[in-house]
Structure 1
Amino acid sequence: MTTDLPQLFDKALRRRHLARVAPTRPAFYAQALAAEVESRLGLILRDFKSTLIFGPAAGEIRALLSGLSRLGRIITAAPAPGPGIDFVFDDEAVPLAPQSLDCIISLFGLHSVNDVPGSLAQFRAALRPDGLFLGGLFAGRTLVELREAWLAAEAELTGGASLRVAPFADLRDVGALMQRAGFALPAVDLDQTTVRYKDGLSLMREIKALGLQHSLKARARRPVTASLLARAAALYDARFSDPDGRVRATVETAWAIGWAPHASQQQPLRPGSAKARLADALKTQEVKLEDKLD
């Protein structure tokens, strides 16, 4: 890990959150991710001899994907111990041998690391040439409603505010990070889902049950009081409820795909090497631009 980078996240706290919930994590989390991974891999006409699944619930996800023979031998790793986890390591210090895997699937860890390009570069180095990386991470406006409710409650009761929901990268950031890490043919798309809950407290309980509460170093150190929690929940319910009384939560997931470079991959053409004019193909008149504008 690069030590001179800003340390936004408390990695020890993140590990404690994940380790605490590992034995009791709700089953729907692994089920939803396994279904998403299987769907996305269905668009890739490749088989793999060895695959790493990295992230919370990686052991449960492997069990759900055990019938997917095209992944070959699956090993699992996570930042904290849990059921079915083969190796525990930090995704900023990846202890994988260079060019040792054909496929790496990283699930919901990269949004809470300090050195995202460094983590991506280490995963890319562990892939054999033409190996696949598939990563999912929270992005964009995820939990924007919860962030607003907490900020409003603190401003009202204490006259100040502190981050209770971590910021997330936007889609363009993720694509740029994939390129910076050296992946070939990178592509990123965004899934936006509106999840509904009985009330704001139910959402907060679920986040805690998944071990996904924020682990920012700059978090407020004073305990959350009962009155502050109640006010944040009340503001959430008042501002983000539907006519039936249930409340909305936005979840945006960036799905990134990239390949370890290989000579067989499609390459961009050299500028000026085209053998036909675009204007001819479009059956239109070419308009030349002046070299300098007046």
Structure 2
Amino acid sequence: MIPALFDRRLIARRRRRAVAAAVPGSDFLVEHVAADLADRLAAVTRRFGTAAAIGGPTDALARTVTASGRAERVIRADVFAAGPAGDHPVDVVIDDERLPFADGSLDLAVSGLALQWVDDLPGALVQIRRALRPDGLFVATFVGGDSLTELRAALLAAESERKGGASPRVAPFVDVRDLGGLMQRAGFALPVTDVDRVTLRYATPFHLMRDLQAMGASNPLRERARGLTPPSLLARAAEIYAETAADPDGRVRASLTLVSLSGWVPHESQQKPLKPGSARTRLADALGAVEHKGE
């Protein structure tokens, strides 16, 4: 049984609150991801029928797919619907642990900054694979690897110092090295994974925490400490953060690892590896080297 790490209702509630607050500039990360998606779609020569943009703090990914002209129809799916002012329009409200798309109903699926909150990532990849038609494409970017290690270490040290123990305050992130295998296990062909390491700089750790809150990305763990965090604990964590991760100008660093992956649903038109022993040219000839046979 897959352990339930994330509080899914809390994630939707915080995302809804962040959209309602609409802090200017808080969408910088998803805009970065959307720009990367635009580049990836520009390298694809084919057109798609139905595309789905799954999750994401804003409609940036859906807008990117629409603007690319690669899809005839774009469905926006997210964990909550529009607010009273219609500021978060979606076509389908989903539980991203149980996607509602019928098998073979999509040609393209994209996701940005959403999969890091899924308890069962292998299961989510399988569901997306089943929803795609043969030769369908899946592209996703999410936070992974060693993201926010500075914040994690500072909170852990402060809470251990003040309380003699620590509760989980920063979500665990998937190991990049596992993703290629997960994509293959889910049934994707030609899987590609890559990493974009981003270093953010803030005047204080509190500015980082405010950005996370404005993005609806505060601690979503089920086992998080309940109640308000004592100001004295946050102050001590900020001191430790500044002591361990500050640049000479006094600003602090926050490391993010953005993991991107893509894969195709198998189709007969796709390239396939050659069978072992089918080569017609010797390696020595290709390298212009002299072959020495063993005794």
TM-score (norm 1): 0.91
Distance 1:283 1:101, change over 3 A: same
* Among candidates 210, 230, 235, match of residue 230 of structure 1: 235
Specify the alignment match of 1:70 in structure 2: 70
State the distance in 2 between where 1:76 and 1:204 align.
Answer: 28
Specify the alignment match of 1:116 in structure 2: 121
Determine whether 1:157 maps to 2:154.
no
Structure 1 residue 167, shift from structure 2 partner: 1.5
Distance 1:182 1:286, change over 3 A: farther
Specify the alignment match of 1:24 in structure 2: 21
Specify the alignment match of 2:9 in structure 1: 12
State the distance in 1 between where 2:57 and 2:8 align.
Answer: 18
CA contact (8 A) 2:30 2:113 kept: no
State the distance in 2 between where 1:8 and 1:63 align.
Answer: 31
CA contact (8 A) 1:145 1:249 kept: yes
Structure 1 residue 19, shift from structure 2 partner: 2.0
Specify the alignment match of 1:169 in structure 2: 174
Runs of 5+ in structure 1 lacking a partner? none
Q: Matches of residues 87-236 of structure 1 in structure 2 within 5 Å?
A: 87-236=92-241
Specify the alignment match of 1:265 in structure 2: 270
CA contact (8 A) 1:56 1:79 kept: no
Q: Matches of residues 29-44 of structure 1 in structure 2 within 5 Å?
A: 29-44=29-44
CA contact (8 A) 1:96 1:126 kept: yes
CA contact (8 A) 1:60 1:84 kept: no
Determine whether 1:256 maps to 2:261.
yes
Q: Return structure 1 stretches of 4+ with deviation > 6 angstroms.
A: 287-290
Q: SS at 2:19's partner residue? A: helix
Structure 1 residue 287, shift from structure 2 partner: 6.9
Specify the alignment match of 1:50 in structure 2: 50
Q: Which amino acid aligns with 1:6?
A: P
Q: SS at 1:280's partner residue? A: helix
State the distance in 1 between where 2:220 and 2:252 align.
Answer: 25
State the distance in 1 between where 2:254 and 2:293 align.
Answer: 50
Structure 1 residue 289, shift from structure 2 partner: 8.8
Specify the alignment match of 1:80 in structure 2: 80
Specify the alignment match of 2:85 in structure 1: none
Q: Deviations over 1:141-177 (max 9, x none)?
A: 1111101110111111111122211121122111111
Q: SS at 2:138's partner residue? A: strand
CA contact (8 A) 1:188 1:254 kept: yes
Q: Deviations over 1:83-109 (max 9, x none)?
A: 121111112101101111111001111
Distance 1:171 1:282, change over 3 A: same
Q: Which amino acid aligns with 1:18?
A: R
Aligned-residue CA RMSD (Å): 2.0
Distance 1:288 1:119, change over 3 A: farther
TM-score (norm 2): 0.90
State the distance in 1 between where 2:236 and 2:292 align.
Answer: 62
State the distance in 1 between where 2:113 and 2:139 align.
Answer: 11
CA contact (8 A) 2:57 2:113 kept: no
Structure 1 residue 183, shift from structure 2 partner: 0.4
State the distance in 2 between where 1:221 and 1:40 align.
Answer: 41
State the distance in 2 between where 1:62 and 1:126 align.
Answer: 18
Q: SS at 2:258's partner residue? A: strand
State the distance in 2 between where 1:128 and 1:32 align.
Answer: 28
Identity, in percent, stands at 46
For these two proteins, the number of residue pairs brought into alignment is 287
State the distance in 1 between where 2:294 and 2:194 align.
Answer: 34
Q: Which amino acid aligns with 1:258?
A: G
Per mean C-alpha deviation after superposition, the further-off stretch among 213-222 and 88-97 is 213-222
Runs of 5+ in structure 2 lacking a partner? 83-87
CA contact (8 A) 2:33 2:141 kept: no
Structure 1 residue 224, shift from structure 2 partner: 1.1
Structure 1 residue 28, shift from structure 2 partner: 2.8
Structure 1 residue 76, shift from structure 2 partner: 0.3
Q: Which amino acid aligns with 1:121?
A: V
Q: Which amino acid aligns with 1:119?
A: A
